[in-house]
Amino acid sequence: MLRRAPLPRRLSSLLEVESGANDPIAIMLTIGLLETWRGDPGVWDWAGFAALQLVGGLLVGAGVGLVGSWLLMRVNLGPAGVYPVLALGVAGMSYGLAAAVGASGFLAVYVTGLVVGARVPLHRRGIRTFHQGLSSTAEVGLFLMLGVLVFPSQLPGVVAPGLVVTVLLVLVARPVAVLLCLGWQGYTWRELVFVCWVGLRGAVPIVLATFPFLAGYPDGAFIFNMVFFVVLVSAAMQGVSIRTVAGWLGLRDPSASSAAVAEDVPIGDINTELIEVRVTDDLHLAGRQLREVTPPQGLITTIMRGGRVLIPTPRTRFRSDDLVIVAMPRQQNAAKLVTAWARGELEPEPV
């Protein structure tokens, strides 16, 4: 959805973090409400459950993420294909430990992923590619399962109440929540209006709607159909209009890109790393000579242009779709530095 309308990075990151952080909270609330129906928990029971789920998930996720990052960066496992498998094991360990102590396994895995992604630049590409494949496979299975559970003939009965719920969520509940959480954090009124309108919703709410049905709640089937309808209408209405609303509010950023600008390339156990940059028309590099945009702390070693390999000189001019190879001293923020250089956010060094 976000790729439909390139947004300023601050706003895009906010929506992505919200989308990822919503799921553990929603799971906690769903399980808590089911336990409330089954029993009679008090206020302190709810408070203890919420604290253990959230604080425990954060601590376990951060701890496992730090240990997993150390393993991925320090232990020599041989073939590069082993590291994505180890990362998958780290994710499984994070979920298992959190579940064992009664914390949120989903929140723990999310935090572990953030820590590993930030601290393991050397193997990030392979890990991400591997997990994107797993994610796509899981999504196919998930939507197939949901398709089997949904009966279109039952949806007309929830149209009227579903539309009422959708209107209340979009025009009342979300704006109130956005103003309470972000109204004092320096966002402009245009950004607040956009965040109020764009609430990224996916399959997780529909999956959670199966919990009451499976638990035997009397109105479980009605809840499932209601949630399915609300998510469908919300995704169709808000998802299709993201680009238009961003244009109305003047928030579209032609220079923003949802794809990574710089990618680390593992080259073994030396204190240097190679970083790939794919030149696009919106980057500061495009159309400039190397002597005008020499990267700080780095050296451009090669430019791949079509089927040719170029050894650059100060007069070499970057073209759209060039693949630029930058050698950098190994450091935590090497890819971020190269990304900022490619976007023109750093002062170039004189040749």
Report the first-to-last Cα separation within the chain, whole angstroms.
42
204-253 pLDDT, tens digit each: 888 888 888 888 888 888 888 888 888 888 878 877 777 778 778 777 76
Residue 4: the pLDDT is 62
Length of the chain: 351
CATH of the domain at 297: 3.30.70.1450
Q: Establish if 112 belongs to a structural domain.
A: yes
Q: Establish if 35 belongs to a structural domain.
A: no
Task: Report the candidate in 120, 127, 106, 26 with the shortest Cα–Cα distance to residue 58.
Answer: 106
134 shares its domain with 177: no
Kindly state the average pLDDT of the residues 125-146.
Answer: 84
- CA 132-137-141 angle, 5° bins: 145
Q: Establish if 88 belongs to a structural domain.
A: yes
Q: Establish if 9 belongs to a structural domain.
A: no
Residue 63: the pLDDT is 93
108 shares its domain with 160: no
325 shares its domain with 276: yes
**Per-residue pLDDT at 3 exceeds 80:** no
Compute the distance between CA of residue 70 and CA of residue 62 in angstroms, rounded to an integer: 12
Amino acid at 248: W
**Per-residue pLDDT at 73 exceeds 70:** yes
135 shares its domain with 171: no
pTM: 0.65
289 shares its domain with 312: yes
User: Could you tell me the residue range of the domain that residue 52 belongs to?
Assistant: 42-148
Q: Helix (H, G, I), strand (E, B), or coil: what is residue 109? A: helix
Burial class (CB in 10 A: 0-12, 13-18, 19+), 260: middle
237 shares its domain with 267: no
Beta bridge partners of 324: 277, 303
Q: Establish if 82 belongs to a structural domain.
A: yes
Q: How does strand 323-329 pair with strand 272-278?
A: antiparallel
138-160 pLDDT, tens digit each: 888 888 887 888 888 888 888 88
**Per-residue pLDDT at 266 exceeds 70:** no
Residue 347: the pLDDT is 61
**Per-residue pLDDT at 92 exceeds 90:** yes
Residue 93: the pLDDT is 94
Output the CA–CA distances (angstroms, integers) from residue 195 to 14, 243, 320, in the order listed.
9, 13, 33
289-308 pLDDT, tens digit each: 888 887 777 788 888 887 78
Domain count, the chain: 3
Q: Above pLDDT 90, what percent of the chain?
A: 7
Residue 177 in tokens:
């929540």
Residue 267: the pLDDT is 53
39-55 pLDDT, tens digit each: 777 788 888 888 888 88
Q: Establish if 26 belongs to a structural domain.
A: no
